[in-house]
Amino acid sequence: MAPSAKSVPQHVAIIMDGNGRWAKSRGLPRIKGHEAGAKAVRECVEGCGDLKIEYLTLYAFSAENWQRPKSEVFALMRLLEKFLKEKTPELLEKNVRLQAIGRLTNLPEACQKQLHKSIEATAGNNGLTLILALSYGGRLEIIDGIKSLLRAVELGHIDKAMIDVEMFSKHLYTRYYPDPDLLIRTSGEMRLSNFLLWQLSYTEMFVTPKLWPDFTKKDLLAAVEEFGRRQRRYGAV
């Protein structure tokens, strides 16, 4: 039985962890784990569409991931470009709108061009909004938000006395989206890994030992069903 509309989160965020371990356990190169993880993305996007979830944010490439071996980073960027090129027609067919957050100008030029093409191509869709966090770091986002606020104050657009939680949120990468209701982390790790540090203040967390390439629609449904059993008090009694 599908969860009731009231128990379905509006916004799901996922830390897609375990691609490397998945590949290692099979004696495969790490990039094969990332390729398998790309298939799990499709499962998750379809599952969110079935459940009428409005926003899905995927932690696809962190700011810290640039420190990985150059060969792996190069392969990941090629995989990202290929994924966007191949999946855009599918996103159009499924009425999915693609968006991205992070320091996107750090991506290789070819990736940036394909990302912009895919975003523009799906801009008219009004189903699920799929947000890719690329070259993203939660601390960097907060720093960039502070710089944006300072510029606004210096230009006289706002008075510093006006700065509050709501105002600051409007200067973050995620200003156009609601905060996540549910955070899913695969691979059993119990940490946020510098992901959406501001936005996850009152988000419900669901951690599964499954590695990301093994994550299916059934696993997504299990997480959403667990979310439906939670009581969200936001600090109240």
User: Annotated active-site positions, please?
Assistant: 17, 65
**Are 13 and 196 within 8 A, CB to CB?**
yes
Question: Pick from 166, 227, 234, 230: which is nearest to 201 by CA?
Answer: 234
| Neighbouring C-beta atoms of residue 37, cutoff 10 Å | 25
From the centroid of its chain, how far is CA 106? 17
**Are 160 and 127 within 8 A, CB to CB?**
no
Q: What is the 3-class SS of 155-193, one letter each residue?
A: CCCCCHHHCCHHHHHCCCCCCCCCCCCEEEECCCCCCCC
Question: How, if at all, do strands 204-207 and 182-185 pair?
Answer: parallel
Cα angle: 180, vertex 12, 102; to 5 degrees? 70
